[in-house]
Chain A
């Protein structure tokens, strides 16, 4: 099973600042990686797929990069609606499809 490890567990950022989230895979997943955003009481929302492609309707302030085992999600200027939990998920080597444990982005 591919283990996905996200860091940090909690990211405290002031509105308008840049936030950088990391996701590491225990073995190469090529570019088969997605990022999701989840707000309290809501279903997850797809942000990024294939490691760096923004999903439809996702603002340009969200960008992502990486391949192999190291991935990054960057929010260039955090808005109030961006404070949420973010999950990475690999779909290269499955079953099972595995998620990271999540990074909570909170207001500093």
Chain B
């Protein structure tokens, strides 16, 4: 159990367009989801924490108007990269917790974004 999926697995877009990435918990309800980005050969950096039904909490330095996060249901969170630019190209990974008290995060397979 505790499977998390992401869609799409990769996306190429033109500079200036917006891209939406979905993160789904397939076999459990996720009260909390997290969004990370990972540059090549680097570690994961937390972007934001998303709780179902409330506004996301962004980490310092992450532009909330640039990276829109919506956690509309207990199984779905979306990350929209608005007006994407080449510097937004990265590997975006989501994770989910089954409940707030749980200590383990379950990770999705990631989405590779390339902005031309």
A binds B: no
Residues on B lying within 8 angstroms of A by beta carbon are: none
Residues on A lying within 8 angstroms of B by beta carbon are: none
